[in-house]
Each structure stands twice: as structure tokens, then as C-alpha cells.
């Protein structure tokens, strides 16, 4: 398919290098689309976040992924064949038959794997506004701009709406109302490096329904860290209540509450991380949203469109790519 070299720099500009954006970009490039991915972070992956602390490695965003939908089958097979991913377990309070997969080097390795074959991924670029033209869009950031036939926004919906609002783009009132209704839970991650075995039982992960924590994971048991290190995720109530408090005091308070999971080990190092948009709680009722329709569309995608899991984000990205592939972004006519 021909590229609009005389009109646009690329066919599609993807804003956000998380799972959804990277999945969409890979799908589009497989269909001969020219794509640029922009992300404000220092590296790709979004909530596929891994942190080095002392001599340990800890996942502090997504902890594992599953494959329950057919759209993920090929990716999981590829990850296993290339030994990028491994099966951790099939449940945490008894087996349910569904494998939980991890990336031994840390979950950010999944983002790197998805990004590796892409032609143009640029980090540390925070998109500020969009300008609609007759045959596409100008995507702007401080010190630069890029012309694309279509734009795909995959950041959390409030962040995507902030770009839309700064750009003065008026959305259909029903579309706007639906996007405004999308909500997220916040979370805090407490990262703890220990000098001995943790108190987290086999297989190394516990999902909780009461108290301030929803998750406790042993990164050594997962095969992510070479030494004992655990990640604790708070619930939304706790994160919201403590969000604006002094981080050092919050860390100390949560460490005290979570000490039961440290076993007999001593704390070597600890750190607090925050996730304002940790998981969608009220989603858009379709795999993606066409915010501006036509041959040169503006589309939104992400886990708030197909569910609060890695495979939900992945499926949303693939669905959005199919929508963009049907557009006229590479047409040289008219």
C-alpha cells in the first residue's frame, strides 16, 4: 500500500507505548502501514513496569498475564517458543486451569518484546495537542510535531481526553459522555527487598479481598529477582486516602501493615510507587472508541475498552488496528 509521503509523515501516529499501543502498531505494520509510536515515559511498556532496587528486581505494575481469549494465542505461543515468557502457576488459592505467565527478566520485558520489531518508537515525548487537517492530523509536542493520517490514543482515558480538550476538539455529546463515565481505581505499590525468604506462601502470590492490600507477590518465586523481594499493591480506598500524604510516612505506614508478609527476614530496602490509573472500573462498552470518524479518524483504545487485564489491552489494540486499517489513511485518491 502506498505511503502518503507528500501529505503525511506516517499513516498512523500511536500515542502511548503500553500493551494496547504496541499491539496496534505491530498489527498495522504487518499490514504495510507506516506507524510512529510516541510515549511520554522513559521506556516502553506503560504498566508493564519493573524496578531495580538494591540488588533485586521487582515488578511494580502488572504482575502476570493470562491467555483466555483467542486473540492472545499467537502472542503467547511466540513468547513461550522464544523463551521470553514462562508459566508461573495456574492459580493462587488452588488451581483453576488457567496459566499465569510471567517474564523472567521482569514484566517490562513484554513491552520491549512488543516494541522490538517496530520501525519508529520514540520515548520521552509528551503529546500536547492535535490539529485536524483535511487529510489527517498534526500531532504536537514541546519542540516537535508529526503529521499522520490517523491518530490512536492509548493512554488512560482521562489523559487522552486532556489532549483532546487542549486541542479544542468537540466530540459528539454521546461519545463525550461515555468517555467521561470511564473510571479507574488508583493503587500504590510497596516494594520491599529482604535479606531472607519472605512469608508469601507458594506459589509466591496472594490475592486479597480484605484490608489495605489486594496483592502480595514474591518476585524471587516468580523468577524475576535473584534475591528475596516482594511487591504489595494497595486497594483504591487506601491509595486515594493516602495519595497526597508525605510519601515517606505513607511508605512507613504501609510497611508496618504489610510486615506479616516479610517472614523472619529483615528489610534491606523499600520504595513506594503510585499508579493513578491502575485499573479501569467502568469501561467503554466496545473494544475501541472512534472519537472522530471518517477516512482520517481519531480513535481511543486501551484496557478501559476490553477489560482491566493485559489481554484486554492487547485485544483492544488489535481491534483498533483493524478499524484504522479500514480507513483511508494510506489512500492516494481524492
Residues 290 and 175: their CA atoms lie apart, in Å, by 8
- How do 229-234 and 183-194 pair as beta strands? antiparallel
Say how many C-beta atoms besides its own lie within 10 A of residue 137's C-beta. 24
- How do 35-38 and 121-122 pair as beta strands? parallel
- Cell 483453576 belongs to 96
Which of helix, strand or coil describes residue 174?
helix
Give the cell for residue 36.
510512529
- What is the chain's pLDDT, residue by residue, as a tens digit (334 residues)? 334 445 689 999 999 999 999 999 999 999 999 999 999 999 999 999 999 999 999 999 999 999 988 999 999 999 999 999 999 999 998 888 899 999 999 999 999 999 999 999 999 999 999 999 999 999 999 999 999 999 999 999 999 999 999 999 999 999 999 999 999 999 999 999 999 999 999 999 999 998 899 999 999 999 999 999 999 999 999 999 999 999 999 999 999 999 999 999 999 999 999 999 999 999 999 999 999 999 999 999 999 999 889 999 999 999 999 999 887 554 332 2
pLDDT attached to residue 2: 39
Of 1.10.10.410, 3.40.50.720, 3.40.50.2000, 3.90.660.10, the CATH number of 50-111+183-281 is 3.90.660.10
Give the cell for residue 24.
496496534
Give the cell for residue 188.
500504590
| Closest-CA residue to 329 (of 11, 6, 7) | 11
| Under 8 Å between Cβ of 213 and 47 | no
84: left (phi over 0), alpha (psi -120 to 50) or beta: alpha
CA distances (Å), origin 316, targets 21, 80, 125, 289, 298: 9, 22, 23, 10, 15
pLDDT attached to residue 328: 59
Helix axes 19-30, 108-115, angle to 10 degrees: 20
Q: In what order do the strands lie in the sheet with 267-282?
A: 205-207, 213-218, 229-234, 183-194, 267-282
Give the cell for residue 142.
514541546
**What homologous superfamily does CATH list for 10-42+123-182+283-325?**
FAD/NAD(P)-binding domain (3.50.50.60)
Residues 154 and 288: their CA atoms lie apart, in Å, by 10
Q: 3-class secondary structure for 250-268? A: HHHHHHHHHHHHHCCCCEE
pLDDT attached to residue 329: 55
Read off φ and ψ for residue 94, nearest 5 degrees.
Answer: 110, 150
Q: Is the whole-model pTM more than 0.85?
A: yes
pLDDT attached to residue 211: 86
Tell me if domain 10-42+123-182+283-325 and domain 50-111+183-281 are identical in fold.
Answer: no
Give the cell for residue 149.
493520517
For the chain, domain boundaries:
10-42+123-182+283-325, 50-111+183-281
Q: How far is CA 74 from the centre of its chain?
A: 19
Helix axes 310-325, 19-30, angle to 10 degrees: 40
Can you give the C-alpha Rg of the chain in angstroms?
21
pLDDT attached to residue 1: 32
Amino acid at each position: 500500500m502506498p505511503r502518503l509521503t507528500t501529505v503525511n509523515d506516517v499513516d498512523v501516529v500511536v500515542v502511548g507505548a503500553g500493551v494496547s499501543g504496541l499491539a496496534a502498531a505491530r498489527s498495522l505494520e504487518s499490514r504495510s502501514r507506516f506507524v510512529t509510536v510516541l510515549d511520554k515515559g522513559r521506556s516502553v511498556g506503560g504498566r508493564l513496569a519493573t524496578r531495580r532496587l538494591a540488588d533485586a528486581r521487582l515488578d511494580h505494575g502488572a504482575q502476570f498475564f493470562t491467555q483466555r481469549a483467542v486473540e492472545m494465542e499467537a502472542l503467547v505461543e511466540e513468547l513461550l517458543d522464544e523463551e521470553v515468557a514462562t508459566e508461573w502457576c495456574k492459580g493462587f488459592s488452588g488451581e483453576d486451569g488457567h496459566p499465569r505467565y510471567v517474564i523472567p527478566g521482569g514484566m517490562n520485558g513484554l513491552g520491549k518484546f512488543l516494541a522490538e520489531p517496530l520501525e519508529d518508537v520514540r520515548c520521552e515525548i509528551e503529546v500536547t495537542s492535535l490539529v485536524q487537517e483535511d487529510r489527517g492530523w498534526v500531532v504536537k509536542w514541546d519542540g516537535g510535531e508529526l503529521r499522520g493520517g490517523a491518530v490512536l490514543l492509548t493512554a488512560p482515558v482521562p489523559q487522552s481526553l486532556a489532549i483532546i480538550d487542549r486541542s479544542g476538539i468537540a466530540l459528539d455529546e454521546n461519545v463525550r459522555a461515555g468517555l467521561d463515565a470511564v473510571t479507574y481505581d488508583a493503587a500504590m505499590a510497596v516494594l520491599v527487598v529482604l535479606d531472607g525468604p519472605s512469608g508469601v506462601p507458594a506459589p509466591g502470590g496472594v490475592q486479597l479481598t480484605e484490608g489495605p492490600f489486594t496483592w502480595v507477590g514474591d518476585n524471587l518465586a516468580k523468577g524475576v529477582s535473584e534475591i528475596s523481594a516482594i511487591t504489595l499493591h494497595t486497594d483504591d480506598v487506601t491509595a486515594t486516602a493516602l495519595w497526597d500524604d508525605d510519601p515517606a510516612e505513607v511508605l512507613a505506614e504501609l510497611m508496618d501493615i504489610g510486615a506479616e508478609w516479610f517472614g523472619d527476614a529483615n528489610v534491606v530496602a523499600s520504595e513506594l510507587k503510585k499508579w493513578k490509573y491502575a485499573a479501569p472500573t467502568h469501561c467503554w462498552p466496545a473494544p475501541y472508541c472512534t472519537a472522530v470518524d471518517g477516512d482520517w479518524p481519531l480513535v481511543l483504545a486501551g484496557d478501559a475498552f476490553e477489560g482491566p487485564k493485559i489481554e484486554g489491552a492487547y485485544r483492544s489494540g488489535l481491534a483498533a488496528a483493524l478499524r484504522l486499517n479500514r480507513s483511508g489513511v494510506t489512500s492516494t485518491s481524492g
